[in-house]
Chains A and B, each alone.
Chain A
Amino acid sequence: MHLSTSFGYVIAIVIGLLINEYSRQRPTRIIRLGQIFQIGLSHQLTRFSLVFIWWWLGWHFLGSLQPI
């Protein structure tokens, strides 16, 4: 069960890579993820939210004293 559940995350990564590859080949259909972030970062609240999520990931995986 552990492996089959983990496999779901692998599928998500593969789908992400496929979308990314599609956006490289057809940038007029799907904009690349980097560009979406660039546009998002020019909006104050989105920028705050993305930086907060980034910080929380560091807190969760590295800093928090509560073990995962």
Chain B
Amino acid sequence: MRNREFLIWALVFAIAGIFQVYRGAPLDGSFFLIAVAIMSLIHVSDVQAFPIARGYFIKLYFLGDVIALACFKIHTKPSLIAILLLLPLILFAMRGRGLSAAVVAPLTRSIGVWVALAVTVAFYEMLSYIVGDVTNRPYHYPTISMLVDPMLHNVGGRIFFVACWTLIGYKFIFQKQVH
């Protein structure tokens, strides 16, 4: 189970990293490839915990940072620093050893359905990007980013996006493990 989990995520991240380099964002690509390297280290060394601070202080740090992020204009140095300050939380989120969930038929089926939808959207978006790039008409073949970005230049749109993004991140980072 652990081997399959590692192989699937490593493959997804490697493809994402290569695509980022193709679209002219080598820094984004290197993030994905660094994530694959960290994943490999976790997989090989069986790291169990990153006790860097108590949960209460981490939550304050997290909330303070995302509030600042909502206030800054996007694609500027302050927002860049704010987002980089969230990076250590990725390691904090790995605390504790993973538990095995019983793989039952509804779970396998459900994961299959959602993954099929996600992969279809990913291919559709990638195809849109490539066709727009090759024909030099990116406006006619927009990616999700191109559709969302204009909303984020508006304060209301940015606060809405950051609020949704924060809720998801809070859940991902601080969610207790299920037994």
Contact = CB atoms under 8 A, between A and B. Distances in A.
Interface of A: 1-2, 5-6, 8-9, 12, 15-16, 19, 23, 27-31, 33, 36-39, 41-52, 54-68
Nearest to A2: B140
Interface SS of chain B: helix, strand, loop or mixed? helix
Contact of B161 (A39, A41, A42, A61): A61
B165 to A, nearest CB: 6
Interface of B: 2, 5-6, 9, 12-13, 25, 27-28, 31-32, 35, 38-39, 42-43, 69, 72, 74-77, 79-80, 82-84, 86-87, 89-90, 93-94, 96-101, 106-107, 109-111, 113-114, 117, 120-121, 124-125, 128, 137, 139-142, 144-149, 152, 158, 161-162, 165, 168-169, 171-173, 175, 177-178
A64 to B, nearest CB: 6
Contacts of B169: 51, 54-55, 58
Given A12-B124, A23-B110, A64-B27, 14 more contacts: A30-B109, A36-B107, A42-B178, A48-B94, A51-B90, A54-B172, A59-B28, A59-B31, A60-B28, A61-B145, A62-B79, A62-B152, A64-B83, A68-B145
A10 to B, nearest CB: 10
A66 B161 CA distance: 19
